[in-house]
Amino acid sequence: MLACGGADSGPVPVQVAVAANFAATADTLASLFERETGTPVSLAVASTGSLYAQIVNGAPHHVFLSADEDRPRRLEEAGLAVPGTRFVYALGQLVAFAPARDDDWTLPAALREPGVRLAWADPRIAPYGAAARAALDHWRIVASDGAVGESVGHVLQYVRTGAVDVAFVSRAQVIDADGAHVRAVPAEVADPIRQAALLLEPGRNTPEAAEFLRFLQSAGARSVIEAAGYELAPGVPADPSPAVGVGGG
């Protein structure tokens, strides 16, 4: 929706709530979208659960880029999102990141070493944290003294500052790190994390919000997402436009 007013009025930014693991990639995509369309994008970054709570409590986000499929589905079922606009925009991979290690360490053996300090995101609100906790349970690693962050963004800070030795994060967050410091959690332990997007009710009559969702499904945007360290969901994505009211104010 374009702002009304004088000659200096510009387009109203698309308000996007984005899961912390996808923040850097979303920033790149937002800049590309603005260059292509002239419409700016404002990003609100937090854990998926925190953003979900904001939306339920009336936050005026137009678009939700979640780190799971469940919360977008629940928002749609609750009438807080536009039906038919939900699609998986990325498949994320859980990895263990240990930037101070130089040896040929392996999972899960490295996690059982005496004194090793682990960190993961809060599994109640962060899908990558839930996947990390499930992996630890699968390996029967208690890690009762582990550090729990509000999001994978916080967890990454913990390990980079030396507060912990190993952190569970998204592969995309450490895509540029030395491969010796990153170990993928095997697929049989942690499935690819399906990250879903959808148009929220505050964006129903904002054509630019629907345009941003279409942009995320474009070949150019998908190449950016893939280059950032995510896999792409198979199949042809849904087009959000048929369910979106493009009139109104």
The pTM assigned to this predicted structure is: 0.90
169: which 2 tokens?
A: 């994060």
Strands 14-19 and 41-46 come out as parallel
Whether residue 13 contacts residue 202, with contact meaning beta carbons closer than 8 Å, is answered with no
User: What would the pLDDT profile of 191-216 be if each residue is shown by its tens digit?
Assistant: 999 999 999 999 999 999 999 999 99
Separation between Cα atoms, residue 52 and residue 44, nearest integer Å: 12
Phi, psi of 28 (to 5 degrees): -60, -45
Give the amino acid at 77: E
Give the tens place of pLDDT for each residue, 36-67: 999 999 999 999 999 999 999 999 999 999 99
Q: Which amino acid is at 133?
A: R
Q: Residue 96 contacts by C-beta under 8 Å, 6 or more apart in sequence?
A: 107, 110, 111, 166, 167, 168, 182, 183, 185
Both tokens assigned to 22: 């996808």
In this structure, are strands 166-170 and 87-92 parallel, antiparallel, or unpaired? unpaired
User: Which strands sit side by side in the sheet containing 41-46, from one edge to the other?
Assistant: 41-46, 14-19, 63-65, 193-199, 87-92
Neighbours of 41 (CB within 10 A): 24
Pairing of strands 14-19, 63-65: parallel
pLDDT at 235: 62
Q: How confident is the model at residue 142 (pLDDT cuts 50, 70, 90)?
A: confident
Instruction: Enumerate domains of the chain plus CATH numbers.
Output: 14-91+194-243 (3.40.190.10), 94-184 (3.40.190.10)
Choice between 1 and 7, residue whose per-residue pLDDT is larger: 7
